[in-house]
């Protein structure tokens, strides 16, 4: 099994089932359009396909780019180590899209939209969200997509985490060292958390407030800063 990555551009294969060496698979209308019309690939060109369940495979385009023949398994999915869960206080739409991409690139295993007192009235478009995280995953060559959970309240989101939740608390005292051992990172929307929410979080046993520095960070910046310490 080859583990060379980056030699072939990779794409997620979204049909049912898993990929297997020797199998010829239908790529679907959307992926075929990207490959043939946008990237100008043609029959005989090689790409990498990911099924999200078993790994990454080298494949060659057939049938004018409508299908691909799987040639070799390059990377097994068991080699991928996923990161923490992101509990995301819903920000403005522009920041939301940036966070979805950056959190995917940072390797989060799941993203939980959190409804806070200061959250924007933004709803996740499932199809658009999936497309954005898929493009980010393809770009950074991860083998799985982060799970997008249903919207939850702050309390619901924290209580469902089986482990320590790091909370980006602007009032926390800066401390040295990393944050190993935590399994989730909680960040608020623009405006942060309300007084009532902050008091509730300080009273929850599995929540640990941390400082991300002396400056007020944008939501997308705070997400990257927090996840990079875990």
At 179, which CATH number? 3.40.1280.10
| Residue stretches of the chain with pLDDT short of 70 | 1-6, 173, 175-180
Number of domains in the chain: 2
Same domain, 211 and 175: yes
Strands, DSSP E only, in 24-120?
A: 24-26, 46-50, 55-62, 67-76, 85-89, 110-115
Same domain, 128 and 196: yes
**CA 132, 134, 138, 141 torsion: positive or negative?**
positive
pLDDT tens digit sequence for 4-58:
455 899 999 988 789 999 999 999 999 999 999 999 999 999 999 999 999 999 9
Same domain, 123 and 44: no
Same domain, 124 and 17: no
Show the domain range for 223.
85-227
Q: Is residue 3 part of a domain?
A: no
Predicted confidence at residue 84, as pLDDT, reads 95
Predicted confidence at residue 6, as pLDDT, reads 59
**CA 119, 146, 201, 219 torsion: positive or negative?**
negative
Same domain, 93 and 23: no
- What is the model's pTM? 0.86
């Amino acid at each position: 099994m080859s583990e060379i990555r980056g030699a072939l551009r990779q794409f997620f294969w979204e049909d049912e089932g898993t990929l297997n060496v020797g199998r010829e698979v239908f790529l679907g209308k959307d992926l075929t359009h990207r490959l043939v019309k946008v990237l100008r690939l043609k029959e005989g060109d090689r790409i990498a396909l990911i099924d999200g369940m078993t790994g990454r495979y080298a494949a060659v385009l057939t049938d004018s780019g409508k299908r691909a023949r799987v040639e070799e398994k390059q990377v097994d999915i068991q080699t991928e180590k996923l990161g923490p869960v992101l509990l995301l206080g819903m920000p403005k739409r522009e920041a939301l899209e940036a966070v979805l991409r950056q959190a995917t690139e940072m390797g989060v295993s799941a993203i939980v939209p959190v409804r806070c007192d200061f959250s924007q009235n933004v709803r996740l478009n499932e199809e658009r969200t999936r497309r954005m995280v898929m493009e980010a995953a393809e770009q950074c060559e991860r083998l799985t997509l982060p799970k997008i959970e249903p919207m939850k309240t702050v309390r619901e989101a924290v209580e469902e985490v089986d482990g320590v939740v790091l909370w980006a608390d602007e009032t926390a005292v800066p401390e040295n060292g990393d944050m190993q051992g935590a399994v989730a990172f909680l960040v608020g929307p623009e405006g942060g958390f309300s007084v009532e929410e902050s008091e509730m979080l300080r009273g929850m046993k599995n929540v640990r407030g941390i400082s991300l520095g002396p400056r007020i960070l944008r939501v997308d910046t705070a997400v990257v800063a927090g996840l990079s310490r875990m």
